[in-house]
Each structure stands twice: as C-alpha cells, then as structure tokens.
Amino acid sequence: MFKNFVRDSIGFSLANIAIKALNIILIPIYVRYLSFEEYGIFELVTTLVIIFVVVVSLELTQAIIRFVPDSLDDKSLQNKYISSGFQIILFSSIIFIAFCSLFSSLISILIFKDVSYSYIVRLASFIIAIQAINYSIVVIFRSQKKFLFAIRHSIIVAFVSGFFALTFLIYSGGSLRLLLIGQIIGGFLSALIGIFAIRGSLSVAIDYFIAKKMLIFSVPLILSSTAIHLSSFADRLIINDVLSLESLAIYGIAAKAASVITILLSGIQGVLSPHFISTWNTSFGLKSITRIFFIYLIFSTLILLFLKIFDDYILIFLGTSKALGGAKVLLILASASIVNGLNIFLFGLIKSLKTTLLSLIYLFTAVLNISLNYYLINIYGIEGAAFATLIAASVGFLIHFYLSSKHLKLPFSFFIPFCFIIFLLGFNIFMVT
C-alpha cells in the first residue's frame, strides 16, 4: 500500500503543482490587464465556482468515491454507479444554468449590490456547471484507481481553460467578460475530451435503485461540503460585503500564494481515501496511515517555514506592490490549509455512513467561521478574516477527530494533532504581531 501511495501521491502532487503554478503565474497577467476591482470580481467568481460545484454535483462525486472502489471486481455494477451518478450531475448542471439565467438580475443584486453584473452571474453559472462535470470525470478515474487518467484530465482542464481565458483576455485588451467566456469554452472542450475517455463506463442508463442509494448517501453531504467550502471561503464573501473588491483582490492574491501549501499536500489528500477504504480494517493499513500522518505533519511544517522566509518574494513575483499588503494573510491561510488537510485522515463518520453527523460538524464550523469573520474583519481587516478561517478550521477539526474516533479508532491519539494546532496558532500570533 505504502509504495502505491507514494507513487500516486507524487503523481497527484506534480499534477497539482503544475495546475496551481499555472493559476499563480496567470495572476500578474490578469492584474496587468484588469483593474484591481475587476480582479476582485474575478476572485469572487472563482470563490462562487468552488462553493456551488458542490451543490450542482449533489455530492454524487462522494458517492462515486464511496461505492465504486467496492465494486471494482464487478464491471457491470461499477458502470451502473458511474453512469447513474454522472447522468444525474449532467441533468443537475442544466437545471442550475437555467435557474441562474432566469434570476440573474436578482442574484446580481444579492452578490454585487448592482444589477449591472447580471452577465457575470450568467457566465459564472456556465463555469460552475462545466466545472462540476469535469470534476466528476476526475473522480470517476480516481474511484477506478486510474490515477494517471485523473491526473491527465485535471491537467487538460487547467491548461485548456487557462489558454482560452488568457487568449481572450489579451486579444480583447482586458475584457473580464471575454476572460470568463474563454474559461467556458476551454472547460467545455475539456469536458468533451473527458466524456469520450469514460464513454465505456457510461454505456448503461440510469439505474434507479442505484441512483436512489447514491443520493441517500450524497444528499446529506451537500450540507456538510457546502459548509466546508463556506468555512474556507466565507472570508472572501464577507470581505466583498464589508470592505471592498480591492481588498478582496489583495486577499485573493495572498490566498493564491498560500495555496502553495495545498499544492504540495494535495497528493496525499487525492489518493488516501481510496486506499483507506480498501485497507482500513487491516493492521498494515493502519500502520501506513500513521506513517503518512506524521509525514504530513513534518512536511507541512517545513512548507510553512519556507513560506515565512520567502513570503515577500512570492508576493512580489505576483506582479503588484499592492499585493504586499497580504503578506501576513499568506502565512495564516497557509496554516488553515494545513489544518483542513488533516480532515482527510478522519474517515470514521464516512465509513460508518454517519453523513448527517458530519454535516452538523461542518455546519457548526461554517457558522463559527462566518461569525468570526464578521467580528474580526471589522476590527482587523483582511488579517482578521485569515485568523477567523484558521480558528474555525482548528475547532472544526478537533470536533471531527473526537467524534470520528468513536466510530473508527485511529492509531494515534487526540493529543498529537491538538498540540500541532496549538503550535500553528501560536506560531501565527507570534509572527504577525
């Protein structure tokens, strides 16, 4: 298991490095062609995409990850899970686009406090729907343990979408509208490529018994996953509401820089779940999980120290002096990403199908994060938003660990991650004050 884990983790890590690096490299280009306010709008759209992909997909991607690995020896059953889940996601995507197009003016007023951004809402709905489809394709490959195919499609989506977005932006001389249209075209072409690649698994119609089973599992997770993303991105939404789009732009650039931590740790997160599902009840599997857990702690700490040393250089690389105002934010958000990543080791509630309890945990975390954001942003600005995210992530993880361990005991104690989180909080308080 461990050798396969290392191989797959390296593959996922390299792919995510390439994808995230592309997104980071594009920032100075976007900032050059867009005003800071327009970049703030772009950052907000990106945030909404991440949040609403969960809603559009009905979290059937989680059901695919849960059930397909258990049916790898039964090709017919496997195809029923994949085909049923994917077709429902396609239908849900169409409904979502229609809804957003119909109520674009109202949604624009709610988000931007201005009806003139209705076109942004309509374009964003297409991006969200296409992203949901592309992500489901990646998940299908992962569930089949075809990790190289998953890596390949992730790279295709990122680079094709980035190519069209950048081309349309430069050709137009700085049109946000055409930038988003470029993303839509690139994402759509990538989706066509992905659908062609998985066509063999889509050869059956929706099996309503299977679909019901998947939806019963996934629907409760919509709340938890939405709460997770709200907890991660509430800061951006509230900054837009309380401060300004320019503040959001600075915060967003710092967050992109902080995503370096996610880049280097995402390989672990990307492949651990399928391995854990198949080996969770073996002593060898648990020993491997323990080893991976401690590697995670050590590696993430080293990355954090790296970011502290080179934070100014990273932000300067992004191409604007205004971004230097987010130096403190970078370190805090990187720490929050580390804490969020720890949740991948907590599989007890998922394995025991306690999805409603998991939803309540993340709902509480989201409420806590939103409350802290409103309080701390008004006092400390964007640094307050970052600290709210870190605190909420820490509390949510500790609650999740305690409850998850009651259903699936892990071979390391609560004390270890607790001390690690205290270290992260203390480190950030010391460094930013």
C-alpha torsion sign, points 298, 303, 304, 306: positive
Residue 30 has which token pair? 């976007």
Mean pLDDT of 247-253: 84
| Calpha distance 376→388 (Å, rounded) | 7
Question: In the prediction, which pLDDT does 187 show?
Answer: 94
Q: Which helix (H) or strand (E) element contains residue 17?
A: helix 2-33
Residue 425's alpha-carbon distances to 265, 313, 388, in angstroms, are 19, 24, 11
Residue pair 388/252 in contact by the 8 Å Cβ criterion: no
Structure tokens of 244? 């300004």
Domain boundaries, the chain: 34-206, 221-433
Model confidence over 384-399: pLDDT tens digits? 998 998 998 899 888 8
Q: pLDDT grade, residue 192 (50/70/90)? A: very high
Question: In degrees, to the nearest 5, what angle opens at C-alpha 95 toward C-alphas 89 and 99?
Answer: 140
Which has the higher per-residue pLDDT, 408 or 213? 213
3-state secondary structure 76-141: HHHHHHHHHHHHHHHHHHHHHHHHHHHCHHHHHHHHHCCHHHHHHHHHHHHHHHHHHHHHHHHHHH
Q: Hey, what's the torsion of the CAs at 230, 235, 237, 241, to 10 degrees?
A: 140
| Separation in Å, CA 240 to CA 110, 113, 380 | 12, 10, 15
> Does residue 269 surpass a pLDDT of 70?
no
Rounded-to-integer distance, Cα 368 and Cα 363, Å: 9
pLDDT tens string 199-237 = 887 877 787 888 888 888 888 878 777 777 776 677 888
Report the 10 Å Cβ neighbour count for 270: 23
DSSP helix, strand, coil percent of the chain (3-state; round to 5)? 90, 0, 10
- Position 180 confidence tier, pLDDT thresholds 50, 70, 90: very high
Indicate the angle between helix axes 60-67 and 208-242, nearest 10 degrees. 130
pTM, two decimal places: 0.75
DSSP per position, 210-269: HHHHHHHHHHHHHHHHHHHHHHHHHHHHHHHHHS-HHHHHHHHHHHHHHHHHHHHHHHHH
* Cα angle for residues 222, 225, 230 (degrees, 5° grid): 115
